[in-house]
Amino acid sequence: MVKRNAIVSAALAVTTIAALALSGCGSSSSGSSSSSDDKTITVAASPTPHAEILNNAVKPILEKDGYKLEVKEFTDYVQPNTATEEGEVDANYFQHKPYLDDFNKEKGTHLVSVEAVHFEPFGLYPGKTKSLDALQDGATVAVPNDATNEARALLLLQDAGLIKLKDANDIAATPKDITENPKNLQFKELEAAVVPTVINDVDIAALNGNYAIQAKFDPSKDALASEKADGLAAKTYANILVVKEGNENTAKTKELKKALNSDEVRDYINKNYKGAVLPVF
């Protein structure tokens, strides 16, 4: 009886070893499937113009080089960075450097800029009041509430002659830095993605170029005031390709950089956005 049990145990051991061997083969096969993912590049982006540029101009270039591009669209300015930090995407394309620097500082993330692509002139757009001259005392202005874009809005209001700041070139200005406000403007500070949704409830709104387009404005015609293409803003606020630190020189990052700074992308931007989006390469 003991002998028979020993034989049965030996047979079970052999079966277990065989099963483990097969399991090892399966895992190897799964590794080869993940290696095919090395040719898929995933990018988080705002719908307009970033996702449009990626899908319509960048994707065909990458396909010629053997890569598949997947674009994940986000309508806010937080999730794309979080997804990049956590490795859910390979890169993101939606923000400028001052915003990225502020985000890293506030959230403790490790994200880096690898390429500048385009500039979207920031603008003041009409809500209930259709011109800057018609603004009444106590008029309400909707502005983004993140540090860099709020400062950008205030600098533009200053350029338009509506306020004065303690430091005329302060890219970190807040409403507390306003030294003169002759029209007693009231500021409605909102998340950037929310600003275009309240346009009919405020007198004027300060909008990033992508949100202006989404709100059906034509920045070249509808803006009451906008940043100049040759000014400090264009150099400071160029929209960038961002990856997690350590991924700056991967094959995927190199392919994305090359495609985003191509003649095809430049031509696509110039043809489709009529000055609302300007290439910076």
What are the tens digits of pLDDT across the range 173-221?
Answer: 999 999 999 999 999 999 999 999 999 999 999 998 888 988 899 888 9
pLDDT digits (tens, 9 = 90+) for 27-68: 333 333 344 578 999 999 999 999 999 999 999 999 999 999
Q: What's the confidence (pLDDT) of residue 235?
A: 80
CA distance 232 to 229: 9
Q: What's the confidence (pLDDT) of residue 14?
A: 39
- Give the per-residue pLDDT at 274: 76
Provide the percentage of residues in the chain whose pLDDT is more than 90: 70
CA distance 264 to 267: 5
Does residue 22 surpass a pLDDT of 70? no
pTM for this one?
0.69
Q: What is the pLDDT of residue 262?
A: 98
pLDDT at 6 over 90: no
Confidence of residue 11 (pLDDT cuts 50, 70, 90): very low
Distances (CA, A) of 144 to 122, 182, 207: 11, 22, 8
In order of 39, 206, 271, the CA distances from 191 in angstroms are 35, 12, 30
Are the CB atoms for 187 and 153 separated by under 8 Å? no
Q: Domains of the chain (ranges plus CATH)?
A: 40-120+237-279 (3.40.190.10), 123-226 (3.40.190.10)
The CA-based dihedral angle spanning residues 240, 245, 246, 248, taken in that order and rounded to the nearest 10 degrees: 10
